[in-house]
Amino acid sequence: MLKEGNILTINGGSSSIKFSLYKTGEPLILLLSGEIENIGTKNAKLHYTNSKNKPRSTVNIKSKKSDEITDFLINWLKKQEGFDSVLAIGHRIVHGMQHTEPEIITPQLIKELKEISDFDPEHLPQEIKLIEIFKKHFPTLKQISCFDTSFHTSMPTVAKLLTIPRSYYEKGIQRYGFHGISYAYLLQELKRIEGDKTANGKLILAHLGNGASLAAVENGKSKDTSMGFTPISGIPMSTRTGDLDPGVVSYLMKHEKISPKQFNTLINHQSGLLGLSETSSDMRELLKSEETDVRAKEAIDLFCYQVKKYIGAYSTVLEGLDGLVFSGGIGENSPEIRSGICKNLLFLGIEIDESKNNKNEFIISSDTSKVKVYVIKTNEELMIAKLVYKTLL
Ligand code: ADP
């Protein structure tokens, strides 16, 4: 039997680290949660909430360097109640190639992740570094990787292949899909609240945050998803392009003399909502200015249009549709965007009840809608803690 203790979760992004501490048991109990934001700027801050500090408190961090900030976080965590009982650390790892389950991190796994670092240069190097710094501070503590790609390993080959020469597929260049930890959580929540039949139905899950994707799911298994080899493809995101005609790459390289590094910055940090609106990557800001700025309106319209297109595509992939789930910062909070996406989709059986939609209710479809439309707040940290707990048992 597992001895009592706590689980630390670490979710490291390019400019933020989210963390939480859960007490083991069923259910897991949240003891502490927080986030360091603005890493790499003069303005790095640690926000946290624990049972004594509600609402959240903030600590300023002097350093700009990500390694020093991680050391700061670890030294701060060491002083927090419950940290001395940590049994394991669960890391969100964006890319895990063919790994289907969470795994205890070994030197071999770190070597493998380093070898595929260039598959996702925006996330993987930072995540590996976090593991190594935690290892340096706590050499005997178990660290467990939870992969965002695992959820999609069930996709059929037809959804995994890219149409470049097959020899590249053998080198690992294929569609993987991401946001798997969030999708697994949404399915668990749907099952908990609505039961097995609903959770096993034909579902489209839409995780719409700064990073955004959709997944077509049946019997709890991913059949297709909009992100691919990297988290850049699919629908437009806050600063990522989403799908882009590959011919644009060689054209820009030839005519604008863009280097591979500049191109990577362009498609990851200067495109999507920010690139189109030329003002903001933040959906809330765009919604505020859409009446007065046509660029903001066009960025919003394009976002809704592309999500809608994927809903149409995935309804055919699933050969029918029972449920549509909205999640992520935009999906959970924006009635306007949900309404814009679902407009005139009655022919697919989707009809929104605007009064429920405006209140962000759990079910926002009308009573007569054939497809049930849900809003579920995702919780990747809790899902990581659950996966780690299951691995430790
Ligand atoms: P991340 O992918 O970084 O975790 P989030 O899931 O928090 O991001 O989503 C951030 C996005 O959600 C931003 O574009 C933000 O503007 C948007 N968002 C949050 N609240 C609202 C709201 N009330 N209306 C519209 N968009 C919102």
Same domain, 208 and 333: yes
User: With bands split at pLDDT 50, 70 and 90, how would you rate the model's confidence at 304?
Assistant: very high
* Strands of the sheet with 17-23, listed across from one edge: 57-60, 45-50, 29-37, 17-23, 6-12, 86-93, 142-147, 103-104
Same domain, 143 and 231: no
Q: Both tokens of residue 33?
A: 């949660």
pLDDT for the residue numbered 13: 79
For the cut 80, the answer to whether the pLDDT of residue 85 exceeds it is yes
For the cut 80, the answer to whether the pLDDT of residue 83 exceeds it is yes
Ligand 1 lined by 289 (C-beta under 6 Å): no
Q: Is the residue at 388 inside a domain? A: no
pLDDT for the residue numbered 342: 98
In contact, 289 and 273? CB cutoff 8 Å: no
pLDDT above 70 covers a percentage of the chain that reads: 99
Same domain, 130 and 208: no
CATH number, domain with residue 239 = 3.30.420.40
Mean pLDDT of 206-227: 98
Q: Is the residue at 337 inside a domain? A: yes
CA distances from 39 to 51, 70, 265 (A): 26, 10, 17
pLDDT for the residue numbered 348: 98
Ligand 1 lined by 211 (C-beta under 6 Å): yes
Same domain, 208 and 83: no
Same domain, 201 and 306: yes
Q: Which atom of ligand 1 is nearest to the CA of 211?
A: 2
Same domain, 266 and 323: yes
Q: Which atom of ligand 1 is nearest to the CA of 337?
A: 25
For the annotated catalytic residues, the residue numbers are 148
Ligand 1 lined by 103 (C-beta under 6 Å): no
| Mean per-residue pLDDT of the chain | 95
pLDDT above 90 covers a percentage of the chain that reads: 91
Same domain, 104 and 220: no
Q: Which atom of ligand 1 is nearest to the CA of 13?
A: 3
Q: Of 279, 304, 330, which is best to mutate to test ligand 1, by the most ligand atoms within 8 angstroms of its C-beta?
A: 330
Ligand 1 lined by 228 (C-beta under 6 Å): no
Same domain, 206 and 139: no
β-pairing verdict for 57-60 and 45-50? antiparallel
Q: Taking CA 205 as the corner, what is the angle to CA 158 and CA 300, rounded to the nearest 5 degrees? A: 105
Same domain, 80 and 215: no
Preceding peptide of 335 cis, ω within 30°: no
pLDDT for the residue numbered 232: 96
Going through 113-248 in order, the beta strands assigned E by DSSP cover 142-147, 203-208, 212-218, 221-225
Residue keyed to tokens 């629908």: 235
Q: Identify the residue whose C-alpha is closest to ligand 1 atom 21.
A: 333
Same domain, 319 and 214: yes
Q: Is the residue at 203 inside a domain? A: yes
Q: Where in the sequence is the domain holding 205, given as residue range(s)?
A: 195-375
Distance 334 CA to ligand 1 centre (A): 8
Ligand 1 lined by 378 (C-beta under 6 Å): no
What region does 360 belong to: left with phi over 0, alpha with psi -120 to 50, or beta?
A: left
Distance 43 CA to ligand 1 centre (A): 20
Ligand 1 lined by 182 (C-beta under 6 Å): no
Q: Is the residue at 80 inside a domain? A: yes
For the cut 80, the answer to whether the pLDDT of residue 53 exceeds it is no
Preceding peptide of 27 cis, ω within 30°: yes
pLDDT for the residue numbered 101: 96
> Crossing angle, helix 380-392 and helix 180-194, to 10 degrees?
90
Q: Is the residue at 390 inside a domain? A: no
Q: Is the residue at 152 inside a domain? A: no
Ligand 1 lined by 231 (C-beta under 6 Å): no
Same domain, 142 and 267: no
pLDDT for the residue numbered 359: 98
Compute how many other C-beta atoms are within 10 angstroms of the C-beta atom of residue 38.
14
Distance 327 CA to ligand 1 centre (A): 10
Contacts of 179 (CB under 8 A, 6+ apart): 148, 151, 207, 211, 213, 215, 225, 227, 231
Nearest residue to 147 via CA among 104, 109, 73, 94: 94
pLDDT for the residue numbered 62: 87
Q: Return the H-helix or E-strand segment holding 160.
A: helix 157-160
Mean pLDDT of 316-329: 98
For the cut 80, the answer to whether the pLDDT of residue 2 exceeds it is no
Q: Is the residue at 162 inside a domain? A: no
In contact, 351 and 366? CB cutoff 8 Å: yes
Q: Which atom of ligand 1 is nearest to the CA of 378?
A: 6
Q: Identify the residue whose C-alpha is closest to ligand 1 atom 3.
A: 210
Same domain, 200 and 282: yes
Ligand 1 lined by 237 (C-beta under 6 Å): no
Q: Is the residue at 296 inside a domain? A: yes
How many structural domains comprise the chain?
2
**What are 90-124's pLDDT values in tens digits?**
999 999 988 999 999 999 999 999 999 999 888 99
Q: Of 283, 303, 307, which is best to mutate to test ligand 1, by the most ligand atoms within 8 angstroms of its C-beta?
A: 283
Contacts of 357 (CB under 8 A, 6+ apart): 335, 338, 339, 364
**What are 138-151's pLDDT values in tens digits?**
999 999 999 999 99
